[in-house]
C-alpha cells in the first residue's frame, strides 16, 4: 500500500513538472557525458603512457656532413669517433643503465624514413646522406636519459641526444589539458544540475503543498513525506545518466574505435570495455548527486 502510494506520488510529480524534469534530464545528461569523456581521456592517456614510455628510446645522433650543431663541424662522424661512442656505451660507467643498444646506419635510417613517410612528398626529397647515423639506446629505467646526455653530449662527432619521451610528454600535456578542461566544464555543469534538481523538487513540493500540509497535520512521518520527492529527483537524474552512459559508449564505439583507430592504426585506443567501466560510475554519480540535492531541497522546504 505504502509503496504503491509512494510510486504513484512520484509518477504524478514527474508528470506535473514535465518541463523541469526534462531540463534536469538534459543537464545531467550533458554534464555526465563530459565527466565520462574526461575519465575516458585519462584512461587513454594512462594506456598510451604505459605503451609508449616502455618503447621510448634515446637516440644518440652522430654528425653528418651537413650538421653544424653539437660536436659537429660539417664533417661526418669518423669511424674512430663512432667507435669511441660505442666504447662509452659499453663502458662500466654507462653499461649498468643500459638495457640494449644498436647502431643504425644512414641506409637503415633512410629505409625507416621511407617506410614511415611513405607516399608523402618529403620522402622523395630525402637522401641517405641527409640522415644521421645513430645509436638507439634502450635504458633500463627510461627516465634516466640525462645520464647519456652528460656522458656523451660533449663528444666530438655526436650531434645530439634525443629522448623520445620528450616528444611524448608534449602530446600527453595536450591530452591532459583537454581532459582537465572537460572535467572543469563537467564540474560547472554538475553544479548547475544540482541546483536545477533542487529547484525542480521545491517546485514539485510547492505544487503539492496542500497534500504536504495535510500529511504533516495527520502525522505522516518526515521520511514518508520526503521520499517521493527524492525518488522523483533520482529518477530524472537517472534518465540523464543512462543517456550519458549511452553517449559515452557510442563515442567509444563509433568515434574512437570506428574512426580514430582506423585512422591511426599504430596507436592503441580505449575500447568498449573501458567505456562499460565508466557507465556504472556515471549512473552512480547521477543518482547520488540527485539524491543529495533533492534531499537538501525538500528538507529545507519542509522546515520553513
The residues that touch other proteins, with contacts defined as CB under 8 A, are 1-2, 5, 210-211, 213-222, 224-225
- Closest distance of CB 200 from other proteins, Å: 21
CA distance 218 to 82: 95
- Closest distance of CB 197 from other proteins, Å: 24
User: In 98-209, which ranges are E strands?
Assistant: 98-104, 134-139, 158-163
Nearer to other proteins, 215 or 261 (CB): 215
Alpha carbons within 13 angstroms on the beta-carbon side of residue 7 total 4
Per 3-state DSSP, the chain is made up of helix, strand and coil in percentages (nearest 5) of 75, 10, 20
* Residues contacting residue 170 through CB under 8 Å, at least 6 positions apart: none
Under DSSP, is residue 304 helix (H, G, I), strand (E, B) or coil? Answer: coil
- Closest distance of CB 9 from other proteins, Å: 10
- Closest distance of CB 271 from other proteins, Å: 50
CA distance 157 to 282: 57
- Closest distance of CB 225 from other proteins, Å: 8
Nearer to other proteins, 119 or 219 (CB): 219
Nearer to other proteins, 164 or 207 (CB): 207
Nearer to other proteins, 173 or 220 (CB): 220
Residue 256 grid cell: 574512437
Nearer to other proteins, 13 or 142 (CB): 13
Amino acid at each position: 500500500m505504502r509503496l504503491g502510494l509512494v510510486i504513484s506520488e512520484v509518477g504524478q510529480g514527474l508528470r506535473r513538472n514535465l518541463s523541469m524534469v526534462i531540463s534536469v534530464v538534459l543537464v545531467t545528461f550533458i554534464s555526465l557525458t563530459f565527466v565520462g569523456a574526461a575519465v575516458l581521456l585519462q584512461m587513454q592517456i594512462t594506456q598510451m603512457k604505459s605503451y609508449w614510455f616502455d618503447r621510448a628510446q634515446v637516440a644518440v645522433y652522430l654528425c653528418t656532413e651537413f650538421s653544424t650543431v653539437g660536436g659537429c663541424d660539417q664533417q661526418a662522424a669518423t669511424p674512430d669517433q663512432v667507435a669511441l661512442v660505442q666504447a662509452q656505451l659499453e663502458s662500466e660507467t654507462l653499461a649498468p643503465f643500459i638495457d640494449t643498444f644498436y647502431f643504425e646506419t644512414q641506409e637503415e635510417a633512410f629505409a625507416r624514413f621511407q617506410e614511415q613517410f611513405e607516399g608523402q612528398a618529403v620522402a622523395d626529397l630525402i637522401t641517405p646522406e641527409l640522415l644521421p647515423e645513430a645509436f638507439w639506446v634502450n635504458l633500463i629505467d627510461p627516465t634516466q636519459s640525462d645520464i647519456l646526455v652528460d656522458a656523451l653530449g660533449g663528444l666530438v662527432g655526436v650531434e645530439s641526444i634525443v629522448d623520445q619521451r620528450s616528444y611524448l610528454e608534449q602530446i600527453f600535456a595536450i591530452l591532459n589539458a583537454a581532459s582537465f578542461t572537460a572535467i572543469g566544464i563537467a564540474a560547472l555543469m554538475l553544479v548547475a544540475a544540482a541546483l536545477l534538481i533542487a529547484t525542480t523538487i521545491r517546485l514539485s513540493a510547492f505544487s503539492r503543498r496542500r497534500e504536504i500540509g495535510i500529511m504533516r497535520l495527520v502525522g505522516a512521518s518526515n521520511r514518508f513525506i520526503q521520499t517521493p520527492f527524492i525518488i522523483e529527483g533520482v529518477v530524472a537524474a537517472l534518465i540523464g545518466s543512462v543517456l550519458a552512459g549511452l553517449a559515452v559508449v557510442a563515442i567509444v564505439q563509433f568515434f574512437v574505435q570506428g574512426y580514430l583507430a582506423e585512422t591511426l592504426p599504430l596507436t592503441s585506443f580505449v575500447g568498449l570495455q573501458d567505456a562499460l567501466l565508466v557507465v556504472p560510475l556515471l549512473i552512480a554519480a547521477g543518482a547520488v548527486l540527485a539524491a543529495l540535492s533533492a534531499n537538501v531541497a525538500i528538507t529545507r522546504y519542509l522546515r520553513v
